[in-house]
Amino acid sequence: MKPDTFLVSFMSWATIPAFEKAIRTAGFQIKSMPIWVKNNFGIGYYTRPQYEPMYLAIKGNPAPPETAISDVLNYARVVKQVHTCEKPIPLLQRLITTFSHEGDVIFDGFAGGGTTAIAARKLRRKYICFELDKNYFDIATLRIENEFAQASFLYD
């Protein structure tokens, strides 16, 4: 990533130590741990998670957002998921709007069903996404094409 940029990385509570180490090793400074509160409960043996933590980190010294957002973000989960880890587009749009500007490049190293790309493009951001699973890559490609086929003039 370029200097003076933000990183938002979702994770489960169980992977926090590994993510923290990887983020710091990559040269980022962790600034906060926002929480996405979902409108459902997951499965679990002792407790049933209703949230997903994320790290907000910086590389270099980016200008702070014009308006700071709450570190508790309430967004309904996606009901008809195409990927098990799919995030709601409005949640991603809130994060992208807060921590980037029109024309910036949004990177998603775990593209899944392409939701980040759709959110970024709707907000006039460029995007780079990676997905190792060919099935999900094909799903994401089709979703992005379908999302913008009818209204490409609005986003290009």
**Please, which residues bridge with residue 53 across strands?**
35
Q: What does pTM read for this prediction?
A: 0.89
Each residue's pLDDT, cut to its tens digit, for the chain (156 residues) gives 889 999 999 999 999 999 999 999 999 999 999 999 998 887 778 888 899 999 999 999 999 999 999 999 999 888 787 877 889 999 999 999 999 999 999 999 998 889 999 999 999 999 999 999 999 999 999 999 988 886 555 555
Find the DSSP H helices in the chain. Answer: 16-25, 89-99, 115-122, 134-149, 152-155
Query: Domain extents for the chain?
Result: 1-74, 77-156
Whether CATH 3.40.50.300 fits 77-156: no
